[in-house]
Amino acid sequence: MKKSAVALVVLMGLCTGWAQDKEVKEHSKGEKKNSTMVAKSDNSEAVIRSLWESFKNKDSKTFGGLITEDALMADPRGVEDKSGVMKDLSSCSVNSYTLSDFKEIKADKDATVVSYHVAQDGTCAGEKMADHIVASDVLVKRAGKWQSIYHQM
């Protein structure tokens, strides 16, 4: 299971990085693309919405509980582990955000990849956040609870 989870994270990262620029440009033009991805489950979208809301509100208890201990986050600044991501709570300020266009691929009963669009206003480490991004999360179910093990934007 651990090897397949690592392979899934690597594959998702490669696919997301390749498609992100194209999708952001298409989204900002209002173009719609047909997708072969399955419809999102209510649970995955709820987890991601809770992650964003707890990050915006700097709610470290909720946010920390929604990501795994071995979680990684990749963004233009690099890759961070959970402790680095938790530090970002204090250095980032999200004024507003809107999540849309959720797409999900189930890897198995305990793992899923979710991609979505984000319109946001805020700063992180003193830098203005991009207005529109495509983000992806790998969610895993551990001890009956869905958590993010990988996030890329």
Contact present, 16 and 113 (Cβ < 8 Å): no
What pLDDT score does 113 carry?
98
How far apart are the two ends of the chain, measured CA to CA in Å? 25
pLDDT tens, position by position, 54-100: 999 999 999 999 999 999 999 888 999 999 999 888 899 999 999 99
Determine contact, residues 12/134, Cβ cutoff 8 Å: no
Q: What is the mean pLDDT of the chain?
A: 80
- pLDDT for 10-44, tens place per residue? 344 434 443 444 444 444 444 433 333 344 445 89
The CA–CA distances, whole Å, from 118 to 84, 129, 141 equal: 22, 11, 24
Tokens 């900002």 sit on residue: 28
Q: Among 58, 44, 136, 51, which residue's Cα sits nearest to residue 95?
A: 58
Residue where the block lists tokens 């990749």: 74
Report the topology of domain 2-152: Nuclear Transport Factor 2; Chain: A, (3.10.450)
Would you call 49 exposed, middle or buried from its count of C-beta atoms within 10 A (0-12, 13-18, 19+)? Answer: middle
- The pTM assigned to this predicted structure is 0.74
List the chain domain ranges: 2-152
